Amino acid sequence: MKRLQIIVFFIILLAVVGCCPCKHLTTSTGTRDSLHVEIRHRTIWIPDTVRVQLPAERTEQTVRQDSSHLETSAAVSDARINPDGSLSHSLENKTNDREIPTQRPIEYRDSIVYRDREIEVEKIVEVERKLTWWQQTQIRGFWVAIIIILVLLRKKIFPLIRRFI
Angle at 119 between CA 117 and CA 121, to 5 degrees: 175
Identify the burial level of 72 via C-beta atoms within 10 angstroms of its C-beta, where 0-12 means exposed, 13-18 middle and 19 or more buried: exposed
Residue 34 is assigned to a structural domain of this protein: no
Q: Which of 98, 165, 137 is nearest to 13 (CA)?
A: 137
Residue at 80 is within a domain: no
Is residue 2 included in any domain, yes or no? Answer: yes
Q: How many C-beta neighbours within 10 Å does residue 116 have?
A: 9
Rounded Cα distance between 31 and 121, Å, is 9
Q: Which of 53-62, 102-111, 121-130 has the highest mean pLDDT?
A: 102-111
DSSP character for 133? H
Residue 148 within any structural domain of the chain: yes
Number of domains in the chain: 1
Is 158 among the domain residues?
A: yes
Which residue in 80, 90, 87 sits closest to 62, CA to CA?
Answer: 87
Q: Please tell me the distance from the alpha carbon of residue 95 to that of residue 71, in angstroms, as a whole number.
A: 14
Asked if residue 162 belongs to a domain, the reply is yes
Q: Is the pLDDT of residue 106 over 80?
A: yes
The sign of the CA dihedral 39, 40, 41, 47 is negative
Give the highest mean pLDDT range of 5-19, 54-68, 120-134, 150-164. 150-164
pTM tops 0.85: no
* Strand boundaries in 14-130, DSSP class E: 29-53, 58-63, 69-71, 75-81, 87-93, 97-121
Domain ranges, residue 8:
1-15+133-165
Indicate the residue type of 155: K
Judge residue 92's burial from the number of C-beta atoms within 10 Å of its C-beta, 0-12 exposed, 13-18 middle, 19 or more buried.
middle
Residue 139 lies in a domain: yes
The mean pLDDT of 77-87, rounded to a whole number, is 81
| Structure confidence by residue, pLDDT tens digits, 22-52 | 555 555 666 677 778 888 889 999 998 888 7
70 lies in some domain? no
Contact by Cβ (8 Å): 85, 64: yes
Average pLDDT (98-106) is 85
**Quick one: pLDDT band at residue 20, thresholds 50, 70, 90?**
low
